[in-house]
């Protein structure tokens, strides 16, 4: 059956109802799976599938407060429409009903002068526009693909000119009078949720990009959500992930991905899951059971360093006497960054005899850590909160030290413990009302990601991956 107007209406409705699903890849998958839906009529089952994902948007709205306002059906529908229209015309002002805007896309290697010339607009007019430094600035930075709007009168004289000053502002110039009148239009953006899944072919990065994730979002997945559980050096072709991400859309174009609200990663026959949830005003990632994915402490507060002296009794390298070494030493070049081993409050920052420049962090529940011989401090003040992994200082050899190294101590209730073998306290799980809210929101979300994976990967396997 040919695509009649009736059929197109259906397809459009499908897009609107689908709301949060829009990646081309998924679109193709859906098309393969439900070919009929894309040509003719929708069965009850199709509608059910589509509405599942719309529900997901609503469910997630309960995870992130303030989200629901951005999930209005109209906003979604606008953003999901495949836009073949020139975006600039979407904002054509109604007041100039008689004006026709010509939209020109700047081509690679084309100068602004050439664009004006192609429109038959004299260079003098262009220079009139460029007289304004703000215009000159924006127009000097035009990239290929940028769109310029020209409004010409019956004689071919330029009466209006439009360009985008930055990602959020569109400038419209009225050139009819002696002086140029400028109007700035805000370019409205909307935030939407998308579910995306991908299988790793050769690189996680490539798969992530193909799934529509920004480089920053990929980094959140590898360096934040799953870094404690998955060694990404071991990721294999066939491993896969799903993510629920926030996306920013403007005039029908996706301009960026933001927060990852939920993600699963399947590797080595295990599936790991992380959900973003705000605890005490701070976003963290949790397992489906509400346990933080993050460990309470990182074992080594310094990257790429060699353990040069272990914990216990030893002859002191400077004093030459037998003494208890109350921490561990990591040899590293002067200036190597030192990280906070866990979330903490800064208890001390300054100089102490022997220790030189030293930082002491209080992690609560009786745990403190100490970092000595620093060449300089990070941006720190006593009493300040620091996050795990943030840089608190740099390796040096201040105090009693034979060479640049980090002396690191781990104390539990005032007693020095070996940081390499001490049992780290488990991080605080979600409790009470937080846990209840978290559970209510995440269980269905996980189910949605799973059904998404089933839809995409049904041909690959059927549940061969075991859940952890
Ligand atoms: Zn030491």
Label residue 232 by pLDDT band (50, 70, 90): confident
Q: Is the pLDDT of residue 19 over 80?
A: no
Which tops the pLDDT comparison, 295 or 444? Answer: 295
DSSP string, 40-80: S---HHHHHHHHHHHHHHHHHHTTSTT-GGGG-HHHHHHHH
Q: Is the pLDDT of residue 76 over 90?
A: no
pLDDT tens per residue across span 219-229: 999 988 998 88
Which of these ranges, 143-152, 335-344, 377-386, has the smallest mean pLDDT? 143-152
Query: What spacing in Å lies between the alpha carbon of 421 and ligand 1's midpoint?
Result: 16
The pairs formed by 234-237 with CB atoms below 8 angstroms and a separation of 24 or more are 234/267, 234/268, 235/200, 235/204, 235/267, 236/200, 236/267, 236/268, 237/200, 237/201, 237/202
Q: Exposed/middle/buried for 144, CB within 10 Å: 0-12, 13-18, 19+?
A: exposed
DSSP string, 319-380: T-SEEEE-SEEEE--TT-EEE-SSSEEEEEEEEETTTEEEEEEEEETTEEEEEEEESEE-S-
pLDDT tens per residue across span 253-269: 777 777 899 999 999 88
Query: What spacing in Å lies between the alpha carbon of 325 and ligand 1's midpoint?
Result: 6
Query: What spacing in Å lies between the alpha carbon of 24 and ligand 1's midpoint?
Result: 56
Which of these ranges, 53-62, 285-294, 361-370, 422-431, has the smallest mean pLDDT? 53-62
Query: What spacing in Å lies between the alpha carbon of 406 and ligand 1's midpoint?
Result: 7
- Give the burial string for 307-345 (b: 16+ CB within 10 Å, else e): ebeebeeeeeeeeeeeeebbbbbbbbeeebebbbbbbbe
Mean pLDDT, residues 387-399 taken together: 94
Provide the residue count of the chain.
468
Query: What spacing in Å lies between the alpha carbon of 379 and ligand 1's midpoint?
Result: 24
Query: What spacing in Å lies between the alpha carbon of 425 and ligand 1's midpoint?
Result: 23
Query: What spacing in Å lies between the alpha carbon of 328 and ligand 1's midpoint?
Result: 5
Query: What spacing in Å lies between the alpha carbon of 367 and ligand 1's midpoint?
Result: 19
Query: What spacing in Å lies between the alpha carbon of 397 and ligand 1's midpoint?
Result: 11
Query: What spacing in Å lies between the alpha carbon of 329 and ligand 1's midpoint?
Result: 5
Label residue 378 by pLDDT band (50, 70, 90): very high
pLDDT tens per residue across span 171-213: 999 999 889 999 998 888 888 888 888 899 888 899 998 888 8
Domains of the chain, first to last? 1-81+190-293+427-468 (3.10.450.350), 87-186 (3.10.450.350), 306-417 (2.70.70.10)
Tell me if the pTM is above 0.85: no
Query: What spacing in Å lies between the alpha carbon of 380 and ligand 1's midpoint?
Result: 22
**pLDDT > 90: percent of the chain:** 38
Per-residue pLDDT, 28: 52
Query: What spacing in Å lies between the alpha carbon of 371 and ligand 1's midpoint?
Result: 9
Per-residue pLDDT, 32: 53
């Amino acid at each position: 059956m040919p695509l009649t107007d009736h059929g197109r209406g259906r397809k459009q409705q499908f897009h609107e109802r689908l709301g949060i699903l829009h990646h081309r890849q998924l679109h193709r998958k859906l098309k393969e799976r439900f070919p009929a839906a894309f040509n003719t009529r929708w069965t009850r089952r199709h509608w059910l599938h589509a509405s599942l994902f719309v529900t997901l948007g609503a469910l997630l709205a309960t995870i992130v407060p303030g989200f629901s306002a951005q999930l209005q059906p109209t906003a979604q529908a606008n953003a999901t429409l495949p836009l073949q229209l020139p975006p600039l015309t979407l904002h054509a002002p109604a007041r100039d009903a008689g004006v026709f805007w010509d939209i020109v896309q700047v081509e690679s290697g084309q100068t602004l002068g050439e664009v004006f010339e192609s429109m038959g607009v004299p260079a003098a007019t262009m220079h009139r526009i460029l007289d304004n430094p703000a215009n000159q600035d924006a127009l000097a930075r035009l990239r290929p693909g940028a769109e310029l709007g020209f409004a010409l009168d019956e004689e071919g004289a330029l009466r209006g000119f439009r360009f985008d000053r930055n990602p959020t502002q569109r400038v419209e110039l009225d050139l009819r009078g002696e002086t140029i009148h400028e109007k700035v239009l805000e370019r409205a953006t909307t935030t939407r949720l998308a579910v995306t899944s991908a299988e790793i072919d050769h690189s996680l990065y490539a798969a992530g990009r193909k799934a529509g994730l920004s480089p920053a979002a990929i980094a959140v997945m590898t360096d934040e959500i799953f870094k404690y559980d998955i060694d990404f050096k071991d990721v294999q072709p066939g491993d896969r992930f799903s993510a629920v991400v926030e996306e920013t859309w403007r005039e029908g174009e996706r301009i960026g991905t933001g927060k990852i609200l939920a993600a699963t990663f399947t590797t080595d026959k295990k599936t790991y899951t992380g959900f973003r949830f705000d605890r005490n005003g701070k976003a963290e990632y949790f397992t489906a059971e509400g346990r933080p994915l993050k460990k309470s402490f990182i074992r080594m507060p310094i990257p790429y360093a060699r353990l040069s002296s272990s914990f216990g009794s030893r002859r002191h390298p400077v004093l030459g006497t037998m003494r208890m070494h109350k921490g561990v030493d990591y040899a590293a070049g002067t200036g190597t960054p030192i990280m906070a081993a866990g979330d903490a409050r800064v208890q001390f920052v300054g100089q102490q005899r022997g220790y030189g420049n030293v930082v002491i962090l209080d992690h609560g529940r009786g745990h403190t850590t100490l970092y000595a011989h620093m060449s300089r401090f990070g941006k720190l003040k006593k009493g300040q909160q620091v996050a795990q992994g943030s840089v608190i200082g740099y390796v040096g050899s201040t105090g009693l030290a034979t060479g640049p190294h980090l002396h690191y101590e781990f104390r539990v209730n005032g007693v020095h413990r070996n940081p390499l073998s001490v049992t780290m306290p488990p991080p605080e799980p979600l409790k009470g009302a937080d846990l209840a809210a978290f559970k209510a929101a995440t269980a269905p979300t996980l189910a949605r990601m799973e059904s998404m994976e089933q839809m995409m990967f049904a041909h690959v396997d059927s549940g061969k991956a075991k859940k952890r």
